[in-house]
Amino acid sequence: MSYDHPQTGSERLPGRRRRRFPEISSRAWEHPADRSALVALRRLSGFDTVFKALSGLLPERSLRLLFLSDSVRVSDRQFPHLHTMLLDACYILDLEKVPPMYVQQDPQPNAMCVGMDEPIIVVTTGLVELLDEEEMRAVIGHEVGHALSGHAVYRTILLFLTNLALRVAWIPLGNVAIMAIVTALREWFRKSELSADRAGLLVGQDLRASLRGLMKLAGGNHLHEMNVDAFLEQAEEYEAGGDVRDSVLKILNVLPRSHPFATVRAAELNKWAASRDHQRLMDGHYPKRGEDGETKVSESLRESAAAYASQVRDSKDPLMKLVADLAGGAGDLGDRVRRGFGGFTGTARGDRPGDKAGGTGRTDGPDGGTGGAGESGGTGGPGETGEGRGPGESKG
């Protein structure tokens, strides 16, 4: 089936044979938490109208003029290889109106999809220089996925509120109120990134390329020095390592960020690629856009709850293990909590009253519950700005 570009009218087919998904709904790739939040918002009568009215202060016209004046618009004459990949992505995900795309001079590898009325895709020169063709194809598919999911408007609001929070930081109550909204938006946006990674995989249809791209965001352009399998093992170690204190630090570290960590994204995408849901989708069984209006909020919330229960049950994270153990309701509650925190309470296992064997010679020092020198909560890592963007944050 041919694809007519809305501007040129020329026939456009993907560079190699990839499966196409006619009329695919963004529900097919959306993370459960992302999906339920967006369905609930979309079902609220007049929500988008009110939301856009309240966001009338946003200088969208200025934003578009800025990209037009100080970036390079992708076309068949400028960055033609990116233009071809953009057309391919829109063809595969059946997006009729191809969004404008710009390349912006910036050594920081990044990409984003913004705009209140119509989405705009922006990629930086740092990202273009970092990734090879198939890795870049996944990124463009990622951004087209954002556009199809309706994420651009909320991403724009997030950027605006983040900048506003910096300007009114001297007003205590005003800044607290804004940052509460920003924190909630960031939590949703981190989930939306996992959704868009899936869309990127559907476009590129090359899992190793998608994983390589995420690995490069973490380690740079030294591909010959890195290994995808070792990177996934590193991701597994990050999820399973330490105790509950480490789990809390993970939460604090990610709070100021708009994107999940690269290892987390790689692990999540790898799991989804191996899932039955992904296989069914590739076999042509997926929700269609015409069915979106029939989606009930309660049904979506049930799916989300089931997905979260499964995630908690299967997670190797110490905190999630503790939650699953406590939910099981069996055994010694105190012992489970003590184990989760690495026995920091000062009583070793086997030394409890009634335990006759074991534990001799083992004591916990006075600082048994400390996290160790240099540990701190909430730091975003070197190079993080007030917008919560760190060196590994890209594929916006």
Active site residues: 143
Distance of CA 61 to the CA centre of its chain: 27
Q: Which residues pair with 73 in a beta bridge?
A: 102
Q: How far apart are CA 127 and CA 331, in angstroms?
A: 51
DSSP character for 123? E
Q: Given CA atoms 333, 337, 340, 342 in this order, what sign does their dihedral have?
A: negative
Residue 24 phi, psi (nearest 5): -65, 135
Q: How far apart are CA 161 and CA 354, in angstroms?
A: 57
Closest CA to 116 of 190, 33, 29, 54: 54
Q: Specify the 3-state DSSP secondary structure of 125.
A: helix
Closest CA to 134 of 208, 56, 75, 189: 208
Residue 216 phi, psi (nearest 5): -65, -35
Q: State the Cα angle at 338 between 333 and 344, rounded to 5°.
A: 160
What does each C-alpha distance from 195 to 30, 101, 144, 269, 310 come to in angstroms?
A: 4, 21, 11, 9, 18
Alpha helices in 274-374 (DSSP H): 276-282, 297-314, 318-328, 333-340
